[in-house]
Amino acid sequence: MLAKREHLKNLPILYKKLIKESGIEESKIDRIAVTQGPGLEPALWTGIVFARELSVKLSIPLLPMNHMEGHIVASLIPDTSLGKEFKILKTIDFPAIALLISGGHTEIVKIKAIGEYEIIGQTRDDAVGEAFDKVARMLELPYPGGPEISKLAEDARKDNIKIKKDSNSEIRLPRPMIHSKDLNFSFSGLKTAVLYLLKKLGNDLENNISLKQRRAVALEFEEAVTEVLVSKITLALELHEAKALIIGGGVVANIHIRKTFEKLALDHSIPLYLPSSGLSGDNALMIALAGSKATIKPSDEGFNAKGNLSL
Ligand code: KG4
Ligand code: ZN
């Protein structure tokens, strides 16, 4: 409800600012794309009502978009288009495999064409971003936790902290489902393992975990997540003879994950598409561009918000 109230307040202000600063004439807008889901329904609904009123006022079509398609499209926006012409997406070969990692989702999607998606793997419980956020909270770091964990882990790398790869190591976390022969994930056990690890370290030191240990935990957590993602994507690329790899969603801002997938793409000689900086987190450009590629269907009139909309 708090998010809904903020949307109600901010959308008209944002729209006025957009029209003023972009110099776009309202009469030149030919369609409006709005997120239908997935997400928090009251907040989605506020966006839909606002967009619908605007589409009626301007007598133009309104298109319901999927937030996760937006994340796929965000990875295909050429750097040069920022601030200039937004209509063109990078052309890629199909089938492509997309790994979508955000606060609410962890999905592997097979893409036969833009608009033709099949989910071939997903998390059974927590999303990757959610796991980052929860582990950050355990380390008493602010929200969103992903960038905070990433900073700690990068500091650990600079300090050359190394975690021994045997299970007797003081700081060693599991890689859930890494050897399962499917493309699904599970991150809630990893999160619980961090909780127990922190308790154990805290007890040993009378609740006084050193900064070095915090960095080591962040490093080990980030590496555990990345290794699982890499193993599943390697399997997906092989099983589906993919010709392109797309990674999208807020977690792609993570430096270690980006670098690891850049290396994987080189090793597999597969073109990799990542969102440019500023476009990995939620943004309106990805929804506008997904809308610019979509077909207008008369049946789309009068749609509702769908909190659990799937690709
Ligand atoms: O796609 P997004 O902006 O929102 C959703 O659709 O959920 O993703 C947000 C998620 C949050 O969980 C946040 O902690 C995570 O992305 N995130 C990161 C980093 N930056 C944002 N996770 C790991 N490392 C980062 N640098
Ligand atoms: Zn998102």
Tell how far the Cα of 159 is from the centroid of ligand 2, in angstroms: 32
Question: Of ligand 1's atoms, which has the minimum distance to the CA of residue 39?
Answer: 6
Query: What's the rounded Cα separation, in Å, for the pair 306 and 42?
Result: 10
CB of 147 sitting under 6 A from ligand 1: yes
Nearest to 126, CA basis, from 105, 108, 144: 105
Q: How many CA atoms are closer than 13 Å to the CA of 21, on its beta-carbon side?
A: 7
CB of 64 sitting under 6 A from ligand 1: no
DSSP-derived secondary structure letter, 95: S
pLDDT tens, N- to C-terminus, the chain (311 residues): 999 999 999 999 999 999 999 899 999 999 999 999 999 999 999 999 999 999 999 999 999 999 999 999 999 998 765 555 556 789 999 999 999 999 999 999 999 999 999 999 999 999 999 999 999 999 999 999 999 999 999 999 999 988 888 777 789 999 999 999 999 999 999 999 999 999 999 876 666 788 999 999 999 999 999 999 999 999 999 999 999 999 999 999 999 999 999 999 999 999 999 999 889 999 999 999 999 988 888 777 789 999 999 99
Residue 207: phi and psi, rounded to 5, are: 65, 20
The 3-state secondary structure of 275-310, one letter per residue: CCCCCCCCCHHHHHHHHHHCCCCHHHCCCCCCCCCC
Amino acid at 74: A
The closest ligand to the CA of 279 turns out to be 1
The 3-state secondary structure of 167-227, one letter per residue: CCCCCCCCCCCCCCCCCCECCHHHHHHHHHHHHHHHHHCCCCCCHHHHHHHHHHHHHHHHH
Which pTM value belongs to this model?
Answer: 0.95
What tokens does 30 get?
Answer: 């030919």
CB of 145 sitting under 6 A from ligand 1: yes
What tokens does 54 get?
Answer: 């605007």
